[in-house]
Structure formats: structure tokens, C-alpha cells
Amino acid sequence: MGETLDRTSLTRRQLLARSAAAGALFVVGAGFVAGTDAAWASEVKHLEPRTMATLIQMARDIYPHDHVGDEFYAAAVKGYDAEDKKAMVEAGIAALDAAARGKGHASYLDMGWERDRVDILRGMEDSAFFQTVRGGLVTGLYNQKAVWPLFGYEGESYSKGGYLEHGFDDINWV
Amino acid sequence: MAAKFDLTDDSIVVVIGTGAGGGVLANELAQKGVKVVALEAGGRYLPGDYLNDEWDSFGQLAWLDARTTSGDWRVAKDFSGLPAWIVKAVGGTTTHWAGASLRFQEHEWKALTTYGRVQGANLLDWPIDAAEMAPWYEKAEDKLGVTRTGGREGLPGNNNYKVFEAGAKALGYKDVHTGRMAINSADYDERTYCHQVGFCFQGCKFGAKWSSAYTDIPRGEATGNLEVREKAHVLRIEHNDQGKVTGVVYADADGNQQMQQARVVCLAGNSIESPRLLLNSASSMFPDGLANSSGQVGRNYMRHMTGSVYAVFDQPVRFWRGTTMAGIITDESRHDPSRGFVGGYEMETLALGLPFMAAFLDPGAWGREFTTALDAYENMAGMWLVGEDMPQETNRITLNHDVKDQYGLPAPNVHFDDHPNDIAMRNHAYKQGQAVYEAVGATRTFPTPPYPSTHNLGTNRMAENARDGVVNRWGQTHDIANLFISDGSVFTTGASENPTLTIVALAIRQADHLASELGKGNL
């Protein structure tokens, strides 16, 4: 799930005490974004923490899988927290928030319904920013080995001698 | 012991490429005592090196040099820099291929005669036919150990096949089985049997699938007549004032240019690189490129009519387990113009891992329509559709002088527009593929667009008359007697079958001819 904060030195209570809500799913504080339940946290060094929270929400709205936790989306976009990407991402998220304000919301993260956020994304899907984020997620999200079991995918079988003795023909419903 | 030949040795045959065409040709020549240097652009990877992880393997094996695309095919939009998914390694794309090994049908050797003239298509009969090719196909099947030929048993069906077979039978299809595959169902030719690993595309770690990388290449080397130089990327073919080729210039593993002299040059770099090399070898004597008096070098690029159908069921399938493509319905491969198109298509089982399914199911798609499909990944079945596409003169490989490769040479541009016949066939195939799965209770089906091409054909086509094509019935260029083409670029038309078996059969036949001509002193 990317770089997490040192949880041994920061309890859930301390984490929440140092943060403010950013939408329904995230809290942000100085140098980090975390799940509202503080079950995961990700360090942010270059972007504004709220920008990273919005980017994670955007990633989920592009490829929403309700059984996949936010920490996997956070890991998928972790690479954007870099000095050479900062300007592109801050500008892209600013455009997202501006579009949300145009629809009468305080920000993208303050839009409560996925369909409203998706409307915003549809309006910018030809932009370089959107296509960069979407294209990056195809590998950033689905090529995380930790995500595979959530879809049932077992990956390599060579280490156990192939699927020959491990269910290659085990279905009986047809 | 592998041979070692001098750069100035002008008595040898140089083979460019070591895949289904070049790898087989090099070994067959070496077995007959002909001295061969095979130049391979990629490195050498063996079963122990193969990576059973889709993206890692892609990074290890795929040909990723600069290429560009144009035309109305969707690949040009979705994968603009990756027209083809083929391999740069010793063994070429025989590391990646799925193993389907089918003979052309008799009528497919004579497409123009059988189909008649088709507007916009550059159809032509092959100068050879099924009867002439039958003994060479038999040799190829024995070399590859093709199942369901020569007394070899078929492979067992995996979960994906079970769904496919049940749907085919429910729909009334008659000819469905686990395929004629160059994947061992029992130990054969010092290779073990298929362990249903599920990563046929990434190189078979058990070596159960035939690849020239660990069969023909080492056996050729063992004769002492074959030297394989890996990471040797050929840049140019040279010729003399008499218009005979004299050797090739290549960049070696350190990037230094070397000139290897040759008595004969055989080009087997795939249907993109082979014409590109001929075009990049233009000279004052051959200003349009080598062997191009017909103007057909690079033209008639074919990639097969392809597409896929995936389907979701209310029960698990786990289609990634086991052989990737061991399942076929051949009922639609006949020529039956009443369906609204000429030629036919095969339906073959196909599975992708989750990472590649995300990339290829519907490239560019996002949102819940897309993600709910992947949510059902475990309950998915899949098939590939592969049929004969129409050769068109305007579908072609050209040099893109605005984009250079790592050696400063113009990159190849791959232009492809679907012919109306291709579109009609694809739409028919989508409908039939979806019907197969709906017949066994699919809750949702996906008519999935073509991937970057693995079947690249036709850009140096074989023709009886020099004005119609680039090579004659032996793969010898019409213009230059000691220059041969030895890969799928010689295909006059594409037929509906996966091409590797035919490339191998042609290579065995060409080796026989070449050795005979060399022996007679004719070359």
C-alpha cells in the first residue's frame, strides 16, 4: 500500500487529532492523508495532502471497485507525489475543484454522489491530465499483486507445478 | 559445438531472425551441412528465465523499438506506438505464441480463384497449393509435436474450454475440440507434457510448448554448422555492382557496427521489420529499396481479422488456469459467402490474467460499466476470433522519417484500414461468439476489439509473376537471386488459420531447396 506512516509512533487517536476531514473517505494532516477510520495512512511529501486525497477519490471514481480498499488506490497514485509531477497534478486537481464549484459544490471531495463526480470527470475525459491518471491506473491499480486475490486471480502456478493438480478443470456446472 | 565464423567468410548463409521462420531455417540448413550465421536482435532467454507475470514478461520479451501507426484500426488509437505484440529474443515470437498449429484449407491457397475479385482487395492465388505443401506440413507437425496429428493425443480441456465446448454444442456447432497444438499432451521429442501453467504467452517454463529457442536453435548449434549471434540488430543489407547481395551490416551487443559477408542472405525479421530492412537498404541501384521492382515491398500488410468475446457467468470459471488457447471451433472457417463475407474465421479459447484483462478488455474505458466486468473476472470465459483479412495495397509498412529508432534509422509506420469484408466478418464472429456463451447462460458478454497484432503477414508477398509480388515460390526474391525471405511476410493471403505452422512448413521446404541449389552451385 505504498509508504505508510510509522504506526508504532502514531496511534489512531493521535492521527485523527492531527487531521481534518477531506470528503467522506479521507482525513488529511500535515504531510499525510489517511482513511477516515485511520486504518491506513500515506505520507505526502510534495503535493498538498488535500490534493492527494482528491486524487485518490478521482482514482476510485475512474475505476470503482467497492470491494477494493482505498489504500490500494492510494498506492496506485503514490507516484504522483513527486517534485516533477507536482505542477501537473496540482493544476489538474484545481481544474477538478473549479468544475465542482461550477456545479455549486465546495470542491470535488465535497460532492456526495459518485454520479455527480463522474459527471465532472466525463467533462474532462479528453484532457491530458485525466488520460494520464486513467492510463497510469491500468497498471498502477491492476498490476498490484496484493489486489489480485480481491478479484480471485491467482497469478503464477509454476511454483506449485502448474494448475494441472490445482484445479485447471475443476468446474462442474456446465 | 556452436560454430564461429569470420566476418569476412563469404561462403556462409546469413539468416536474419531466429523465430518460426529464421530459427527453423537456420537449423534445417545446419543439419544439411550448410554453414550458417543467424543474427538475432534480441537476447537469449530460456524456460528458466521466463517470467510468469504479464507485465514483467512483456518488459522482458516484447519488441519495444520505436514504431508508429496510422489508419482507421482501433489499435492506432489505443496503442499508437505498439502496432504489434511480438518478441525480440532468440526464438522470436515462438516464445510468445499460443501454439495453435493449423494447416491452411485447400481453397485458401487460391483466394482469388475461390473468392473472385473483391473490390478494394489485392487478392492473388499463392503459386503453391495444398498438395505441394502436404508433406512439408507433415514434417512441420512432427517437428512441433502437434497434438491430434501423427497419432498424438489432444490436450485435456481446462475450465475455459469446458464452457466453450458446452456453448458450441448447445449452439449446434459440430467441430469443437482442444485444438491442434504444438504443446505436448505427453512427453515428446525430449520435451515434457503440459502442466497447465496458464502462461503460454509469457514463454513456457516447462518447455512443453514448442519454441525454436530451445529446440531448433541449440540443435542447429550442436551440428557445428550454426553460429547464433544474439543482440545483433541488422541495419542494412549490402549488394555489389552486379545486384547480388554481399552481406549485412549490423549493430552488435556493444552498439558497434559490424559487416558480415555472405553467399546468401535469408531475411526473417517478421512482416514489419523485414520490409523495413529492405526499404532501409535502398541504394543508387535500388532507390526504392531492395527487391522492390514490383513496388509491393511493405504492401498488403495483413494482421488477420481478429477480436475477442468475453462472457460473465453466475458461477466461477477461473479461466486463467491452464493452457491459454487449447480450444477451437472450426465450423465458421469455411468459405460461405451467404454469411455476407468471403473467407472464414476460427474461434479459439483465450484467457488473460487480471493485469492484461484490465488493459485489453475495452482499452480506454472507465467507470462502472467497465469495472463491474472486472469485478466478475473469476466468472469470466473468453475466446479469440481469428479470420482471413483482405490484402490491401494501401495497408502497408513505410519508413517514418520523422521518428528514428535507437540506431538513428527511420522507424516503421504501420498503416491499416479495415476492409468492409473484415468488418462484416468481425461482426458475424462477435454475434456467434456471444451466442456460444449465451447458450450456456452467460449473463453478460463483451465483443472486445483487436489487440496489437501478433499475426503480421504479407508485406513481401509470394507471387508467380515478378510484377505482382516480392518473392517466388521458394521465397527467393524475384529481383535478387541470393536474397530470400523466410517469414510470414511472404504470405500471399492470410487464410483463417494461425500462421506459425505454415511459416515453419515453408521454412523447412525452403531449407531443402536452398541446400539443393547451393549443392548444385546455383547460388
A148, A161, A171 member nearest B317 (Cβ): A171
Q: Which residues of A touch B206 (CB under 8 A)?
A: 158, 162
**Amino acid found at B390:** M
Write out pLDDT tens, residues B95-134.
999 999 999 999 999 999 999 999 999 999 999 999 999 9
The whole-model pTM stands at 0.97
Residue B367 at interface with chain A, using a CB cutoff of 8 Å: yes
List of residues 6+ apart from B252 with CB closer than 8 A: B229, B231, B232, B258
Q: What is the pLDDT of residue A5?
A: 53
Q: What is the mean pLDDT of residues A61-76?
A: 97
> Which ranges in B337-413 belong to alpha helices (H)?
354-360, 368-375
Is the CB of residue B311 less than 8 Å from the CB of residue B437? yes
Looking at the partner chain, which of B321, B367, B371 has a beta carbon nearest the beta carbon of A167? B321
Q: To the nearest whole angstrom, how far is the Cα of A46 from the nearest Cα of chain B?
A: 28
A174, B162: Cβ pair inside 8 Å? yes
**CB atoms A67 and B156 under 8 Å:** no
Find the CB nearest B378 among A151, A155, A156: A151
CA distance B485 to A18: 70
Does the beta carbon of B353 lie under 8 angstroms from any beta carbon of chain A? Answer: yes
Q: Mean pLDDT throughout B26-31?
A: 98
CB contact under 8 Å between A142 and B377, yes or no, is: no
C-beta of residue B333 within 8 angstroms of C-beta of residue B345: yes
pLDDT for the residue B117: 97
Given a cut of 90, is residue A12 above it in pLDDT? no
Query: What value does the mean pLDDT take over residues B482-509?
Result: 98
- Chain A nearest CA to B500, separation (Å): 25
Nearest to B358 among A138, A169, A173 (CB): A138
Which residue matches cell numbers 509498412? B397
Instruction: Please report the residues numbered 32 through 61 in chain B whose beta carbons come closer than 8 angstroms to any beta carbon of chain A.
Output: 52-55
Model confidence at B439: pLDDT above 90:
yes
Distance (Å) from the alpha carbon of A118 to chain B's nearest alpha carbon: 8
- pLDDT, tens digit, for every residue of B401-419? 999 999 999 999 999 999 9
> In which band, very low, low, confident or very high, does the pLDDT at A156 lie, cut at 50, 70 and 90?
very high
DSSP string computed for B195-242: ---S-GGG--TT--B--GGGTHHHHHHHTTSEEEETT-EEEEEEE-TT
Q: Residue B1: is its pLDDT beyond 80?
A: no
Q: How far is B4 from chain A (nearest CA, A)?
A: 36
Q: Specify the 3-state DSSP secondary structure of B280.
A: helix
Report the pLDDT averaged over residues B80-103.
97
Least confident of A33-47, A52-66, B279-293: A33-47
| Inter-chain touch A64–B194, beta carbons under 8 Å | no
Distance from CA of A26 to the nearest CA of B (A): 21
CB interface of A with B, residues 36-95, below 8 Å: 62-65, 67
- With an 8 Å Cβ cutoff, are B53 and A156 in contact? yes
CA B398 – CA B412 distance, rounded (Å): 6
Q: How far is the C-alpha of B35 from the C-alpha of A44, rounded, in Å?
A: 62
For A40-60, how does the pLDDT look when each residue is reduced to its tens digit (9 = 90+)?
A: 999 999 999 999 999 999 999
Measured CA to CA in angstroms, residue B252 lies from B40, B239, B324 at distances of 10, 20, 35
